Amino acid sequence: MLEFPGRKVLEQLGAAEAAALRPLFESVVFLQHELGAAHAVEDRVRAVREAAQWRAEEERYAHPYHAAGAVLSAANSYADAVEAALWSHASAYAVLGTRLQERLVEGRGPLSTATVAELSAEPTLSVLEAALRVPVDELLAGRPEDERERARQLQERLLSGVDVAYEALADDMLDKPLNRAAAAEARLAAAAQPGFDPPWIHLLRPLLSYANGLPFAIGRFLACRS
């Protein structure tokens, strides 16, 4: 994970931009670590339950097996909640960071407080898609070709994940499947339904790769400009 830009670099941003960027970044970092810890608990308790399973089949009292099962269910629910929160914060951070980087490259003035506040909340799928479609050559103008090629490949993975999200929300097995227009206005953390893979299943990992690189990209641009 790349280091967040220092205070002197961030002073070149608008007050609202700088105030929003760091807390979102810190939230994404915290939630990534917390999700890893939650998965570690799931793995540990699952191993305990599996070890107790053979005894449960042979003994009259299967308390260890059922105890581990109850804890595993709670651990699964917690990990799902953390992942949903991570999605919500990471998608907001990706959109805010992209729009900020875009306005810096274009030489426009700071984003307004109202715009920053809007971009700091979880985006709808269409808003996220629009941000992820900003041309790589525009955001990375002047950067080496190999760097831009890696960014293009990541962009392809991101947009493929967006397509999968649209398909997931339209699944006929859902209680309330969404057509393309309705899915475009959906926020995935709220649209995810129990018993189904989350709609961000193929999007979260590449989005985190993208979001984790935004501080460096923004900081590098500001440092070169100063």
Phi, then psi, of 184 in degrees rounded to 5: -60, -30
Say if residues 45 and 69 touch (Cβ distance below 8 Å).
no
Alpha-carbon distance values, 116 to 7, 9, 15, 224 (Å)? 19, 19, 10, 24
Q: Which residue has the tokens 């651990």?
A: 75
List the Cα angle 26/206/142 in 5-degree steps.
85
Residues 6+ apart with CB under 8 A from 62: 52, 55, 56
Instruction: Return the pLDDT at 153.
Output: 96
- Res 151 pLDDT > 60: yes
Say if residues 197 and 173 touch (Cβ distance below 8 Å).
no
pLDDT of 21-75, one tens digit each?
Answer: 989 999 999 999 999 999 999 999 999 999 888 776 676 778 889 999 999 999 9
Instruction: Return the pLDDT at 94.
Output: 96
- How much is the mean pLDDT over the chain? 91
Residues 6+ apart with CB under 8 A from 67: none
- Res 99 pLDDT > 80: yes
Nearest-angstrom CA–CA distance, 13 and 111: 9
Confidence of residue 138 (pLDDT cuts 50, 70, 90): confident
Confidence of residue 216 (pLDDT cuts 50, 70, 90): confident
Confidence of residue 217 (pLDDT cuts 50, 70, 90): confident
Confidence of residue 224 (pLDDT cuts 50, 70, 90): confident
Instruction: Return the pLDDT at 226.
Output: 56
- Res 223 pLDDT > 80: no
Three-state secondary structure string covering 21-90: HHHHHHHHHHHHHHHHHHHHHHHHHHHHHHHHHHHHHHCCCCHHHHHHHHHHHHHHHHHHHHHHHHHHHH
Say if residues 183 and 169 touch (Cβ distance below 8 Å).
yes
33: how many CB neighbours lie within 10 A of its CB? 12
What value does the mean pLDDT take over residues 156-177? 95
What pTM does this model have? 0.92
To the nearest whole percent, how much of the chain has pLDDT over 90? Answer: 72
More confident residue, 215 or 205: 205
